[in-house]
Structure 1
Amino acid sequence: MSKNSKVLNLKDKISGNEVDLSLCNLTEVPVKELALLPKATVVDLSCNNITSLPPEFCSLTHLVKVDLSKNQLTCLPDDLGNLVSLQHLDLYNNKLTALPISFSQLRSLKWLDLKDNPLEPGLAKAAGDCLDEKQCKQCASKVLEHMRAIQDEVDRAREKRLLREKELEKKREAKQREREAREKEARKREKAEEKEKRRKEYKAQMAALAAQEQQQKKKSEDKKKKNGQATDKVVVESAPKPRRSLVGLVFKLLLLLLLGLVGVAAACQLADLQKEAMCVPIRAAMNDGLSWAKKQEDVIRQLVQNLSSVGVQQPALHLAV
């Protein structure tokens, strides 16, 4: 039966609030068409070839009774618990081994049939037999209790997992903080090392400048010493001058003495005292002195020349040393 034919024939399957789709050889549930019939709260899908229910089936929250017996269902959708209005569910003679965890949320469920399904032992024990109305009601109650217990275990496991994840996250955060602290400390050390390096470079530069200044100072001192030695040489060279000055002074004194004698003699001559007792010896001494001076003139000149030559030779000797 095609989809269009299902849409066209679906109204023929409605009777009051019930839609009878049993024995229609269906392989899937016409969810969209059922969603357009919110007043159809009872759906009979038994005796078909349905292997699974689509996730959209869980949006049919208006359903109160669903019969899926004698199909090929191997599993139910995970969100089956969204069918909050569901009170009667017939899953007889399918291939179910387990129920979704959300099954525990079917709080309105009052009747359940799970006979002839290869259920896992725990679920099969909770379901028990469903041979009459009472047993089917007990099946619904016990299966819901069983599924709530599983839900609790799942919740606890999830909480433990979340707790482990939180602890792991805390550990990761702690490691991240430690890594950031190490990186911060490393950057701090690098800055300190860089600062120390700059300080050493600055000290080295200052030491080099100081050494350069010391070297320049030493050169200056050496230059001053050389200049001092040159000054000493100049002083040595100028040393003979006092000798020449002394000779000149002696010569001048002698000249003054002679001039004095000449003056006295002149005074005696002008005063007509030539024959006085005082002037006679002065005149005689002057005459002798002039005679001696004339004789010694050449000697004095030679002496002055000798002294001058000695004064010039001594500085030359000092320079040679």
Structure 2
Amino acid sequence: MAVRLRDITRRQLRALAAIASSGSVTSAAKHLHLTQPAVTLQLRNLQDLADLPLLQRTGDGMILTDAGIEMLQLHGRIEAAIADCEATLGIISGKTAGRVSIGAVSTAKYFVPFIIAAFSRAHPRIEVRLSIGNRAEIMQALRDYKLDVAITGRPPPDIEVEKHLIGQNPHVIIASRNHWLAKERGLAAVDLSHETFLTREPGSGTRMLMERLFEQTELAPHIGMEFDSNETIKQSVIADLGIAFLSAHTVATELEDGRLVTLDVAGLPVTRQWFVMRRVDKVLLPPAQEALDFIAREASQYLPRPRLSHD
């Protein structure tokens, strides 16, 4: 008998379970979306393999015999084992669990955590490792295959990447609300020649964009202190130690509450783009691919929408 039981199929056991649940072949057939003869055939084949009657007809319908109860329990164990196996394979493949390494330039830290939080709610079993650094650091991590996904404003020139646009990134010149140029309109770059600029450190994408602006406008301002933190720059500008060129996304809150203003300078804002990207030659496991797809699809709704002072 044991040898014959190895030929049992899930269809046969499902037919038995459906009849046990509904009490009739007719109802079981409707539940399984099969014909009555098909269900009867499955049951007959199962009883032949068991070599024992599995069902007893009564006035209240069909009920399981002791052998039928044993077979129904076998059905439950098999379905549970298959479900457990599916879950385990999902974990191994990364479809339901796993890790993803995401890097973002420091300017993006004002919205990236909200994206990660949304992704984690949708995929609670995927562990996200988030690294924040300046552009040079994030690009080097991408070169070294340490990141699955990177969020930055400009793709690296020396790496072939798959990139997805997630939104615009306007850059502005900010000043304290008490700055003498705060209420001026139609300023030219030359009007800032005597101002002190507080800047990001060399290697920062914001610093490079600022220097490009200076070259294009032939502006040669006084460079004051250098900082590796947007937060320190913002607080220093609020304290009226100078003005700064920053992404409007980093100062959206301060612009909203009036602690900072944007200067109305011709040619500003300088608008760049935010991208999410991956190395083309890096194999992404399912969790990382899911993260890339999610960010490409959903990130735009989490970008700050700063209100510029001269809008």
Which bracket does the TM-score occupy, shorter chain normalised?
Answer: under 0.3
Q: Which has the higher helix share?
A: 1
Structure number with the bigger relative contact order (C-alpha 8 A, sep ≥ 6) is: 2
TM-score by length of 1: 0.19
Q: Which has the higher strand share?
A: 2
